[in-house]
Amino acid sequence: MDALSMLIIRAFLSYSDVFLLVFVRIIAFILIAPAFSGNNINNLSKLAFAASAAYLVTSSGLVTSAISVDSGPGFVLLVLQEFLTGFITGFIVYLAFSIVFFSGQLIDFQIGFAMVNVFDPITQIQVPIVGNLFFLTLLAMLVQSGGINALLSALFHSYEILPIGGAMILNNRALMQIVLDLMGSFMVLAIQTALPIMGTIMIIDVSLGLLVKAVPQMNVFVVGMPIKLLVGLAMLFVLAPILSHIYNSIFELAFTAAIGTLRSLAIEFFPATP
């Protein structure tokens, strides 16, 4: 083995612990983040992608450490801390994109699809029909618009915001506030997405109620269900162009929440200066 090969091996071994910690944060993010976590992507590809990204991050010189560990148990705890950091960040992004499942459930309830769910092969869970349609459409927009590159860039620069070992996960009030604010935005955006169809169906319900008063012999259930179904599907077709605006709002919410999560995790180690 020549001198160059020995030099490369020694350099790799000297940074192997840093590489492992970076790899753990990235693989934890990939396991839960949208467009990465689906079972349609095999685990070997996920590992290879995470290892490649970890190598690029490690060799970039951006990785710093907030603490030093000299013992085996301490290093294990550090690995666990980095895993939770990546997992929490990915979960926040997934939570933002899950808004469409809630809005889809509201729409399904109005047009009569609430009694039927479909099995999503990506997430391996039962999801509402319209919600699954919205989610798959937003994932396609995420890939087409380069949103995945933006999320990976945020993860790449996360080491500038939150160095290795700098996360405060337990008893972190700032992190809880980020989650609560996201849940509030979750409810508002989900209702805004479903509101046009919900309002239209409500108008139909009021009209059918008035019609029953005028014609008591009419069976409103037999007449009303097909009408609400057809109008709901027509409204989905009419409102399809606004999905791009919904995607922009959700992606902005997810990106802002991910950056805010990283900063909230680091707030105990880097408090604001007066």
Q: Where are the domains of the chain?
A: 3-265
Taking each helix axis as running N to C, give the angle between helix 147-156 and helix 16-32, from 0 to 180 degrees, rounded to the nearest 10: 140
pLDDT band at 274 (very low <50, low <70, confident <90, very high): very low
Burial category of 256 from C-beta neighbours within 10 Å (exposed 0-12, middle 13-18, buried 19 and up)? middle
pLDDT digits (tens, 9 = 90+) for 3-26: 555 544 454 445 677 788 888 888
Average pLDDT (144-161) is: 82
Tokens 């490369």 -> residue: 8
* pLDDT, position 65: 63
Say yes or no to pLDDT of 105 above 50: yes
> Model-level pTM?
0.78
The mean of the pLDDT values for the chain is 78
Q: State the average pLDDT over residues 241-268.
A: 81
